[in-house]
């Protein structure tokens, strides 16, 4: 898709589409949901909307506990009966993610909904404490690891209740204009992740953020092919371009948001819609609150090869850098 065509589509979408809230008759009594990146922006609004539909327990996964507690206080006002808990989660720390997942496994008697929404945007090369480029670490690797670690408690609840759990991974339509050359022709020993970690691969601006969203799409499809839809429905929605502190690092994007952006409430509705509705969305991309095709690249022979290579590299990386993570069920026979 050319950039011009993409931006014309984006403008049309932003001007003509109005996200719908969850229908009033959707009730989540008895259910437990985890929302990451839940203290601000779309994650906060999505968490608040889930809680307002009689959700019984809500886990806010946040890096800053004080900000998480402030978010909890706001959500309590609309859902006073919901058991809201604030858990620390840092997607730039392997240990933090493993501890978070272990807490979910041991402390929760059930887990029904997971919304993996935490992410960031930077315009200059930044290295994470894990030594990976920060978009690769937070937006992709952290999300991927959590999706593996949290699958088991989600599946256990699904099998106990006889209905699938839900896992939603936030992506963005910017994945349609991501620079695929960086993943189809990596120059660092033919490893996609090693090349993206190399500062010489980074072009200042927002293209690396775009690419991280394409990686999330590829991961969602790879993960879905390894999960049974009868146990876990995993999908990936585009919330559109939204007014949010997320864009504070990008003056141009922030200015654009003043004229065309959805509110954070509207953006959050895209996420809750994907997390609760669309039982036919396993392995699918959603935009405008309905199933849409992925970028053409993903369906190409080259895209299929990249998806498998990315999966293999990611699993190998987790085994080497986070051996305490129990991901063996996803690696048998590989």
Torsion of CA 24, 12, 143, 50, to 10 degrees: -10
What's the gap between Cα 297 and its chain centre?
20
172 is catalytic: yes
Phi, then psi, of 203 in degrees rounded to 5? -100, 120
Q: How many residues does the chain have?
A: 334
The residue from 140, 209, 241, 285 that is catalytic is 209
Per DSSP, the residues of 226-273 read: TS-TTTEEEEEE---SB-SGGGTT-HHHHHHHHHHPBPHHHHHHHHHH
The residue from 128, 147, 151, 172 that is catalytic is 172
Which residues are paired to 232 by β-bridges? 165
Q: Which of helix, strand or coil describes residue 61?
A: strand
Which residues are paired to 83 by β-bridges? 57
Which residues are paired to 290 by β-bridges? 287
Pairing verdict, β 57-62 and 232-237: unpaired
- Within 10 Å of residue 72's Cβ, how many Cβ atoms? 20
Q: Which two tokens stand for residue 66?
A: 């004080």
Per DSSP, the residues of 196-221 read: HHSGGGPPSSSHHHHHHHHHHHHHHH
Q: How far apart are CA 215 and CA 315, in angstroms?
A: 14
Q: Which two tokens stand for residue 240?
A: 């559109």
Q: Which two tokens stand for residue 106?
A: 């041991």
Q: How far apart are CA 58 and CA 77, in angstroms?
A: 14
209 is catalytic: yes
The residue from 48, 121, 213, 309 that is catalytic is 213
Q: Measured at the alpha carbon of residue 294, what is the angle toward residues 311 and 236, in degrees to the nearest 5?
A: 70
81 is catalytic: no
Annotated catalytic residues are 172, 209, 213
């Amino acid at each position: 898709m050319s950039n011009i065509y993409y931006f014309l589509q984006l403008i049309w979408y932003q001007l003509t589409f109005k996200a719908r809230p969850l229908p009033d008759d959707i009730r989540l009594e008895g259910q437990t949901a985890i929302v990451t990146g839940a203290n601000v922006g779309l994650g906060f609004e999505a968490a608040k909307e889930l809680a307002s539909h009689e959700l019984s327990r809500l886990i806010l996964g946040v890096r800053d506990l004080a900000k998480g507690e402030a978010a909890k206080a706001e959500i309590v006002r609309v859902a006073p009966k919901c058991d809201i808990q604030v858990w620390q989660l840092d997607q730039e720390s392997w240990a933090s993610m493993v501890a978070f997942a272990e807490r979910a496994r041991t402390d929760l008697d059930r887990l029904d909904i997971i919304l993996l929404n935490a992410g960031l945007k930077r315009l200059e090369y930044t290295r994470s404490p894990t030594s990976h480029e920060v978009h690769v670490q937070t937006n992709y690797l952290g999300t991927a690891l959590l999706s593996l670690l949290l699958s088991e408690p989600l599946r256990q609840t699904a099998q106990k209740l006889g209905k699938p759990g839900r896992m939603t991974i936030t992506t963005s339509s910017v994945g349609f204009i991501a620079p695929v050359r960086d993943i189809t022709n990596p120059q660092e020993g033919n490893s996609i992740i090693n090349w993206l970690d190399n500062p010489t691969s980074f072009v200042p601006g927002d293209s690396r953020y775009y690419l991280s969203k394409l990686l999330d799409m590829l991961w969602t499809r790879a993960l879905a092919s390894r999960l049974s839809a009868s146990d876990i429905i995993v999908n990936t929605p585009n919330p559109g371009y939204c007014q949010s502190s997320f864009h504070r690092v990008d003056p141009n994007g922030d200015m654009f948001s003043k004229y065309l952006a959805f509110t954070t409430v509207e953006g959050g509705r895209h996420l809750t819609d994907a997390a609760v509705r669309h039982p036919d969305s396993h392995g699918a991309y959603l935009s405008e609150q309905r199933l849409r095709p992925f970028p053409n690249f993903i369906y190409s022979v080259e895209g299929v090869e990249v998806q498998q290579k990315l999966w293999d590299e990611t699993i190998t990386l987790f085994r080497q850098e986070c051996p305490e993570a129990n991901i063996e069920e996803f690696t048998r026979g590989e």
